[in-house]
Structure 1
Amino acid sequence: MKKVFGFIFSLSLLFALFIPASSVSAYTGGLTNGKLWNIGSDSNSVSSTTPLVTDNDELTYYSLPASSQSQSINDTLWISFDHPVDITSYKIKAESTTSPTQVYFIDVYGQATYFTPDVSGTLKTINKNKISKISFQQGSGNTKKIYELDFFGNESTFDTPTLTGALNGSAAELSWNNVLGAPAYSVKRSTTPGGPYQTIATVTGITYADSTVEVGQTYYYVVTTVNGTAESVNSNEVSVSVVDPLVPTLNVVIDKEKIKVGEQFTSDIVLQNVSNIYAEDFKINYDSNLLNYVGFEEIPGYKVYNQPTDEDGKLRFIIASQGEQYGINGEQVILKLKFTGKETGIAKVDALECRIADTESEYDLGEESCTEDTIEIEGVKDVNRTGEYTLVDLAIDGFYYGKTADQTDHTKHDADQAGDTNINDDDLVYIVSEILKNPNYPLNA
């Protein structure tokens, strides 16, 4: 009989080892698991903390008092995140009473939203983005037991900034637009167009000066928004060529950072750090796969005396000053080149080689003294961003007709289809041409 009893006891022990205790439930793996929740009279005050709602044990709990206007009653349970998060689901086990529990989400913009959660302890889907704080309160009544809770998701990704860059003295000065809510920015650099890039700084501001550059080198920069382990895609790439301030250079300076397909831009050709120069002979190379060469515009006092021929993206110009007063000293724009975007991508305009002359001698500028610049070309989007052109797109631009692009609703519409900042016939003509190409838009179908 003793042996039978021993066997039964052993079997019972075995079951106890393999059957999980009813007091334990799977709330692990979430954003707040194992963290302390703050207790206070509101979501900005802390009187104490509790681990009882995140200890993965449904037998322990925190008793949340009914909401009160009194600052002496700690009726709020709250937690903040080191990095904003996107919440996709939650699991809450709480006492079910007639007084509902309210969960408040506060995002990085200070906006608060709330809802009444399911408190059965089952996983529920929810969509809340860029959340920096969560708090609990309940309505009038008695205290409510909060047994376990957790929220699931990932650190938020913020929009990609637009980058600009230029050489200032011996440093590459970078700047970008402020991305609302972004905690920080990562500045990345390469000596090769398109990367690979190395992170050289993480900053909270919207400017950065890279003083570690070397004379004679061209650097390529991008910037991203960062939020803990989450990071946006790379911004547009900008190049900065570092030249000796005393060495003559031929610089390419594009007037825009980004255009749409079909939009025109200007690339200035600038002679810099020279004295009494009256003639120039140079070659320009551009990405003929991405750009169309439109022509050139002469600068008063500086005339092109050859007939430039476009040879698969290569152009040669021979320029002379028209009079003693047009001798170049210091810095001077000597020519403007016109291009339009042909295809999407990052296009480059590059000064390949240059020879300059004063009235006694001529000098060759080395490769490091002939710079380049890049521009991003985007595909044109339909006006209401549905992915195809229809009569609705035409109607929207008809509504905006006569306005500037800044006077349109950028959050909903891309009304400036022609890229000239004005909504006029050029935009409507383009939209109609795209409607006629749309196979999903047969008339009266």
Structure 2
Amino acid sequence: MANDWMHQTVAQFETALFANGSLEVDGLPGPTLTNEIHPLFAINRWAQGYDQYTKYFYHRMQPALQLASLMITESCTLPWFTHVSFGQRKYDSTGKVHIAPTRHEHKPEGRHETRMRLEKLSRILIIMFIPRKYRKTNDGTSWGITWPHSSFPWFRYFSRSDLPHIPSKYYGPEYGKRDMAIITLNSDFQDFFYDGYQHFTPSMTYRVWFMFASTLVHELAHAYYYWLGRSPSERFHGKEPYWSKHDNDKESELGFSWESVTWGRIPNPINDTIRDCHALVSIKSEAFYYPAGRQKALRSLINHHGVKFTRIPLDELQHGYRSWLPSAAWRGNQWFVADRARPDMNYVSVIHAIPMWWIAHWFSGEEWNKKRRTWRQKNKYSPPPLGPTFMLIYERNTRGQCSLHVAVNQSLDPYLQDIKWQTAEMGLYDCEH
């Protein structure tokens, strides 16, 4: 992944990333969250035993666990889960299954029941770190994976006493059709919290906290769907549905849907690693069968009123740009480009640098009070914009002809506007009181 051409290209703009406040920022305020950690993430839900050291550093995870807890308890961020709880599974005209809005998800009873279901999930959930022995395996390179119990190759190294207690009633007939999932997280997170944090700057620490919270709730989105126990009774062959009909041109991936709706983007370190958590960026790629689609998307960006782009001669950058295609080396690209990257497609990729103020504000109690006031007064939640930032636009046609444009200190964010339109069209935040 470190050899990915686009990772290397973005890293070459280090001066612009510094100026934008996306790398190292002096004087960052410390986290001021005061909320309790949800029982889902309590210390007794983390596995012990084989290569598990959580009990030694659990306190260092507190800011990230507090943020993850807010994502599943606050009224403004809960609707994503309420929609999963009470939305209706439907086939669309192409045979894909999506979750359609229902009235019940907007009622106070729906929100209350969703909170209760999440609390019940905390009685059976198991969380662990992927053992270091498996670090270089396909599973080990993932940020996180969620599967039903005992599906992982390392599970045989754990005894029953190593795992969180699950009351016997959850093995009974009432819950027999529900999958009890294990969330596994990349071992690099454990390395950071164990002793790696000592070598990280405050900016880097914030980025790891943020990515840890994001990964944890991403995986919880999958675990929650398993826990609902709905798939065996709904003729959809146990497949994860699309979170909304607007996602059916992507992969059916509930975790990335949650990130997009809540953050307004899918965050990704430049070098795609936790060990050296460099600047965070987000990428959105679109694939088009016909050149007209690519040209239209490119014109809508490059010719956007008030935004000045500079074209970068690709020959000035390292070789490899002609063969670069959107790939899983960037988190989320496999969601946007559902058919996988193919050289016979036209592509437009938009990359935004994520400023440190934006990351740090999620850990501010004052900022969360503002979100609560906005929700009470307007019944409204919108992912916060990045503000003026650094962005790249890469485009490629089927003949391998490419271009790269750069904009500095600009606020153009078309993907965020798409998310706002999607949630408004489906009435996600039209909650009754």
**TM-score band, normalised by shorter chain:** under 0.3
Question: What TM-score comes out, normalization by structure 1 length?
Answer: 0.18
Normalized per residue, which structure has more strand? 1
Larger radius of gyration: 1
